[in-house]
Structure 1
Amino acid sequence: MDQSAPPAVQAEGIVKRFGPTVALDEVRLTVRPGESHALVGRNGAGKSTLVGVLTGLHRADAGTVTFGGQPAPAFGDTAARQSKVACVYQKSMVVPDLTVAENLFLNRFDDHARWIRWGRLRERAERLLAEYGVRVDPGTRARDLAVEQRQFVEIARALSFGARLIVLDEPTAQLDARGIARLFDKLRELQDRGVAFLFISHHLQEVYELCTAVTVYRDARHVLTAPVADIGTSDLVAAMTGERSAAATAWHADTGRTATRDTAAVPVLRTEGLTLRGEFEPLDLAVSPGEVLGLAGSAASGNTAVGEALAGMRKPDGGTVSVHGRAVRPGSVPHALDAGIGYIPEDRHDQGLVPDRSVAENATLTVTDQLGPWGTVLPSRTREFARAMITSLDIKTRGPEQPVSGLSGGNQQKVVVARALARDPSVLVAVRPTAGVDVKSKDSLLGVVRRVADEGNAAVIVSDELDDLRVCDRVLALFHGRLVATFASGWADGDLVAAMEGVGERE
C-alpha cells in the first residue's frame, strides 16, 4: 500500500440532515489505495448515509469529499461518480434474467453502433472478466450464478468504469464459509493491484481477517480510526456501543441450564423421518420444553430447507412433524401457524417484510383474525397490538404507523420477530436471525429466543453463525443434507466449524 499516494477517498466534516434528524455529524473517513478499510457501527450509526454521500445518492449539507486527491464529481453527475466509486450491496443489483455480458455492459452495449453485436459484446465481457481473474461464463444468466460470483460480476463492472474504490455493504451475509474464503481471496488479489475497499460488516471476525484499518461511527459521529492490529475485540465493541461487553451474555446457553432441562418430558417439537429429496436425508428431531436446538451448517448443508419444512414453507417428501403430539400438515404455512410454529425467515427483505406497509401492519400479519369481529381488522386494535410488541422488543420507531422501510436493519428484524411471536408460538424457528444486524441488536434478538425457551416452549435456530449458535443448548451439525455431529453447550469453535465443513465427520 503506497502511503505517499493520495487517498482513494477522503471525507472531512461531512454533515447530512434528513429533516430534524442528523444522520451524519461532521464525520470523516480516509481510505488508502490498496487498503481494505472497515466501517463499523450499530444500525443507525450513519454508515449507509455516508455511503450514499460517497456514491452520489445524497448531497452532503457540509463537508468535502475527494477521490484520488481530486474533488468529488458534482452531485448528479452519475457517469463521473461511477468512474470513482461503486457499491456492491448485500442484495445483489444484477438483473437476474440478463446474461453476465449484458449485466457488465448494461446501458453501454456499443455507443457507436445502431444495433447490438452480441458476439463482440461477449468478447468484451470475456476480456474484462479475464483482466480481473473472474472465472464466469459471459453467456450465463445472472440468476444461475452463485452469490459470490454475482458479487465478482458487480465488482468487475464497477472497475470497468474506472472506479478504484469499491464499497462492500455486508457482502458475506448470504455466503457460506467457502464462498467467503473465495470472496476474500479475490479482494486481496485486487488490493495488490491498488483497488481500495470500504468494507461494511457486522461480523467483527471478518474485519480482523480482511481489513488493515477500521473506522467506528456511533450515533452519527466519528468515534475512532485505528489499525485493526492495534484494537482488541472488546475495545472495538465498546467503541461501537458505548458500553463494555461482558464475557458472556444472558442468552448464552450454559451447562447448568442444560442439566436442569427435563429431557424426559414430552417433546414440544418432534420430527420422524423428515426428508426432502436433494436437500436433506431422513431426520429425527426431538426438542424438549425449555430447549434451544441449533441446526448448524453452510448454505449447501440443507439446514435452511429443514427450517422451511418445519414452518410449512416447503413440502417434505416424507416423514412427519408434530407439536405437542399434534401432527402438522406438511407444506402448509397456515396449519403450521395454527399448530403453534412461529417462523423468522432467512431474508427479511424478500420473505419477512412488506416494505410499503407500516410497522403495525407488518407486526400483525399473522394475527389479523384477532384484530376485529367477523373477519374485520380494526386499525385501533392493530395499533394497540403493535405498541405492545414495540415496547416488548424495544423497536426504535416513531410509532406503529411508521413505514417499516424507514427503520434500521436491526429494528426491521425486530418487526419480523414480533410477527413470529404474535401468536405466542410453542415453537420458534429462526433462520439466521441476526444476519445484517449490529452487535446490540444481535444480543437483543438472541435474548428473545432464549426467553421463548425459558418460558417452557422450544426454539430451533438454523444458522452457520457461531454467535447465533451459542444460545443453543444442543447443536446438530449438518453437511450435505446429513447429520454428522451433535454438540452439547460449551462446544469449541474449531470442532463445530470442522463439522460444518465436513472435516472429520462423526456419526
Structure 2
Amino acid sequence: MSTAREAAPLVEASGIVKRYGPTVALQDGRLTVRPGESHALVGRNGAGKSTLVSVLTGLQAPDAGTVAFDGRPAPPLSDRDGWRAKVACVYQKPTVVPGLTVAENLFLNRQPAGRGGFVSWRRLHSEAARLLETWDVRVAPDAVTAELKVEDRQMVEIARALSFGSRFIVLDEPTAQLDNREIERLFDRMRALQESGVTFLFISHHLQEVYEVCQTVTVLRDARWITTAPVAELPRAALVEAMAGEAVAAHGGAAHRRVDQDAPVRLDVRGLTSEAYEDVDFRIRRGEVVGLGGSSASGKIELAETLAGLHTPRTGRAELDGVPLPFGDVPKALKAGVGCVPRDRHDQGLVPGMSIGDNATMTVLDRLGRFGLVATTAKRGRAEQLITRLDIHTEGPDQPVSDLSGGNAQKVVMAKALASDPRLLVLINPTAGVDVKSKESLLSRVDTAREDGTAVLVVSDELDDLRRCDRVLVLFHGRVVATHPAGWHDHELIASIEGVQDAEGEDRG
C-alpha cells in the first residue's frame, strides 16, 4: 500500500495530552493515518490506546495537542453530526440495540418520515437494503439484530457508520469474540472495504493479526508514542521490543526460592471449559504463587472468577486440598477456603457507605460471635489487626472506607480477602490504580501468603505483579499456550501474550 503512505493524511493527531486529576493517561499521543490503509494501534494495557481513541472520536477533548481530518481541524465536541461524518468506532461490545431490526438500527433517530410525520417503514427498509447492498453486508434489513452472529453485528455497525459519510472506522478488538473462520471473513471484508476507499484503525492485542491485515503500525508505551512504521519493515521481535521497552525487556523476573516439588498440591484444576476458556489444566502447590497472563479477551479473568465462585464452567473440575470447589456460589467458595481480590474494587470489592472495619471483616462475621450475633469488640479487634497487618493508613476502623486513597482502599479489599485465612488466594489485578508505595505493600502480601503455605493465583495485566510468581501461565484465546518459570524476560512473556514467536523463535501461540 505504498500509494496510501504517500498520500496526504486522512487523520492526524499530534502532541495529545490527557490528564485525569493527577493521573496522566496520555503524555504524547501521535497518530498519522493515510487514506485507504489499515493502520494498527498497539500497546500493552495502560499504554494510552483507549484515551487516544476517545480523543480521535470526539468523546473528550485533549488537554493539549491537535486532531485534524483531511488537513482541517476536528469539529468542536458539541458538533456530533460533524464527528459522525469524520470517524466512527466499532467497539468490542456492540452498540446496536439488540431488540430492534437491522434497518431500525441503521437509521436509529433518523428514520425517514412519511405522510403526517410518521415513520415511513417502506422507505426505511428500502434505504436499509440499499445501504447493505452498497457495502456488501449480507444480512436482511428485517432481521432482529440480537439474532445475528457477532461478525454480522459488527458489519451492521460499520455500515451504519459509513451511512453518515465517514470513511474512517476504528475497530476496537474486533476479533475478541470471533473464531478463526469468522476472523478470516472479517479480514476479507476489511480488504474489500479498503478497495472501496474505507480506512481502518485496527486495535488488537494479537500481533499476528496486525501482520495479516494491516499495512502500518503505531506503538504506544507508558502513555507515549514510541514508533510508527510499515508493518512489512518491522520484524515481530522489534515490535514486541517497542511495546515492552528496551530497558524493561532486559529485566527478568524477581528471584526467589524454588517451590518444593514434593509440596502437597493445594489447587488441582482439570479440564475447565466455559465460553471464555477451554480445557484448562494446572496445579498450584502449597506455598506456590502462579500467575495468569493474557490479553483482556484471553479468558484469564473469567477463569480466576470461576475459581472464586462467580461463574459455573460447562465442564471440568477444580479441587482445593482434594475437595471439589463449589462453582457459581461465592459464599460457598469462601467457606471452602477461597479468598479473592476482585477485578474492580469499586464495583465488587468495597461497600462505600460502610466503615473500614465493616468492609474488612464482612467475610468473617460468622467467626466473630455466636448464634448469629456479631460481638462488637471482637469485630473491632479483628479489624485493627487487619489494619496493622496491611499497613492501612487510617484514623481507625470506624472511618468510612470512601475517605481512603486508592492505595489504602485496595489494601482494605486485600484485608477482606485475607481475613478468612484462605488456603487459595485469587488476586485479580491486585495493584490496579494504586501508587508505587501501595503497590509494593500489596505485593508483599503475596510473599507473606506464600510463607503461610497458601496457594496464590495472581491474574494481572501488570508485569510487575507477575514477577513474584514461581511461574506464569499464558492464556491465548482461552487456552494455556505457554508456561514461563520465574526469571522470564518481558519480551518473552509479551510475545506469548500477543501470540507471536518469542526471541528464540519458539511459537508459543
Q: Do these two structures clear the TM 0.5 threshold for a shared fold by scoring above it?
A: yes
Residue 198 of structure 1 pairs with residue 201 of structure 2: yes
* Structure 1 CA distance for aligned equivalents of residues 189 and 49 of structure 2: 24
Pairwise CA distance, 1:487:
9.2
* Structure 1 CA distance for aligned equivalents of residues 375 and 277 of structure 2: 39
Task: Tell me if structure 1 keeps the 8 A contact 2:387–2:415.
Answer: no
Pairwise CA distance, 1:21:
5.5
Could you say which residue in structure 2 is the equivalent of 1:72?
74
Give matches, 1:31-42, under 5 Å: 31-42=33-44
1:333 aligns with one of 324, 330, 334: 330
* Structure 2 CA distance for aligned equivalents of residues 474 and 414 of structure 1: 24
Distance change in 2, residues 1:382/1:104 (3 Å): farther
* Structure 2 CA distance for aligned equivalents of residues 389 and 196 of structure 1: 52
Pairwise CA distance, 1:323:
1.9
2:99 aligns with one of 97, 100, 123: 97
* Structure 1 CA distance for aligned equivalents of residues 272 and 29 of structure 2: 52
* Structure 1 CA distance for aligned equivalents of residues 173 and 119 of structure 2: 35
Residue 8 of structure 1 pairs with residue 6 of structure 2: no
2:362 aligns with one of 328, 345, 368: 368
Task: Tell me if structure 2 keeps the 8 A contact 1:262–1:289.
Answer: no
Pairwise CA distance, 1:77:
0.6
Counterpart of 1:124 in 2: which secondary structure?
A: helix
Task: Tell me if structure 2 keeps the 8 A contact 1:313–1:331.
Answer: yes
1:230 aligns with one of 229, 233, 246: 233
Task: Tell me if structure 2 keeps the 8 A contact 1:427–1:457.
Answer: yes
Pairwise CA distance, 1:87:
1.4
Pairwise CA distance, 1:80:
1.3
Deviations 1:368-387 (A, max 9, x none): 34599938898x96997599
Deviations 1:199-232 (A, max 9, x none): 2334444333332222233444433222233334
Residue 208 of structure 1 pairs with residue 211 of structure 2: yes
RMSD: 5.9
Equivalent AA in structure 1 for residue 201 of structure 2: L
Equivalent AA in structure 2 for residue 80 of structure 1: G
1:151 aligns with one of 149, 154, 163: 154
Distance change in 2, residues 1:99/1:365 (3 Å): farther
Pairwise CA distance, 1:339:
1.1
Pairwise CA distance, 1:420:
6.6
* Structure 2 CA distance for aligned equivalents of residues 218 and 331 of structure 1: 37
Pairwise CA distance, 1:42:
4.5
Deviations 1:137-181 (A, max 9, x none): 444444444444333222221111111111223334444444444
Task: Tell me if structure 2 keeps the 8 A contact 1:383–1:400.
Answer: no
Identity of aligned residues (%): 48
Pairwise CA distance, 1:84:
0.6
1:164 aligns with one of 150, 167, 176: 167
Q: Gaps spanning 5+ residues in structure 1: where? A: 392-398, 438-443, 498-507
Equivalent AA in structure 1 for residue 225 of structure 2: H
Give matches, 1:473-492, under 5 Å: none
Pairwise CA distance, 1:88:
1.9
Could you say which residue in structure 2 is the equivalent of 1:183?
186
Pairwise CA distance, 1:40:
3.1
Pairwise CA distance, 1:186:
2.7
Counterpart of 1:101 in 2: which secondary structure?
A: helix
Residue 57 of structure 1 pairs with residue 59 of structure 2: yes
Distance change in 2, residues 1:277/1:199 (3 Å): closer
Distance change in 2, residues 1:283/1:3 (3 Å): closer
- Length-normalised TM-score, structure 2: 0.64
* Structure 1 CA distance for aligned equivalents of residues 274 and 219 of structure 2: 46
Q: Gaps spanning 5+ residues in structure 2: where? A: 394-400, 434-439, 486-494, 500-509
Distance change in 2, residues 1:15/1:352 (3 Å): closer
Task: Tell me if structure 1 keeps the 8 A contact 2:273–2:316.
Answer: no
Task: Tell me if structure 1 keeps the 8 A contact 2:37–2:214.
Answer: yes
Pairwise CA distance, 1:307:
6.6
* Structure 1 CA distance for aligned equivalents of residues 390 and 336 of structure 2: 23
* Structure 1 CA distance for aligned equivalents of residues 52 and 172 of structure 2: 12
Equivalent AA in structure 2 for residue 99 of structure 1: T
Give matches, 1:118-129, under 5 Å: 118-129=121-132
Pairwise CA distance, 1:67:
1.4
Counterpart of 2:187 in 1: which secondary structure?
A: helix
Give matches, 1:308-323, under 5 Å: 310-314=307-311, 322-323=319-320
1:324 aligns with one of 321, 325, 336: 321
Give matches, 1:81-480, under 5 Å: 81-111=83-113, 114-246=117-249, 249-250=252-253, 262=261, 266-270=264-268, 288-289=285-286, 310-314=307-311, 322-329=319-326, 331-342=328-339, 353-354=347-348, 368-369=362-363, 374=374, 388=390, 425-427=422-424, 456-458=453-455
Deviations 1:42-82 (A, max 9, x none): 44444333322222222344443221233322331101110
Pairwise CA distance, 1:2:
3.4
Task: Tell me if structure 2 keeps the 8 A contact 1:237–1:244.
Answer: no
Task: Tell me if structure 1 keeps the 8 A contact 2:44–2:243.
Answer: yes
* Structure 1 CA distance for aligned equivalents of residues 477 and 63 of structure 2: 51
Distance change in 2, residues 1:40/1:422 (3 Å): farther
Task: Tell me if structure 2 keeps the 8 A contact 1:148–1:175.
Answer: yes
* Structure 1 CA distance for aligned equivalents of residues 101 and 391 of structure 2: 44
Distance change in 2, residues 1:31/1:486 (3 Å): closer
Structure with max Cα Rg? 2
Could you say which residue in structure 1 is the equivalent of 2:491?
none
Pairwise CA distance, 1:334:
0.7
Equivalent AA in structure 1 for residue 210 of structure 2: V
Distance change in 2, residues 1:382/1:401 (3 Å): farther
* Structure 1 CA distance for aligned equivalents of residues 417 and 337 of structure 2: 10
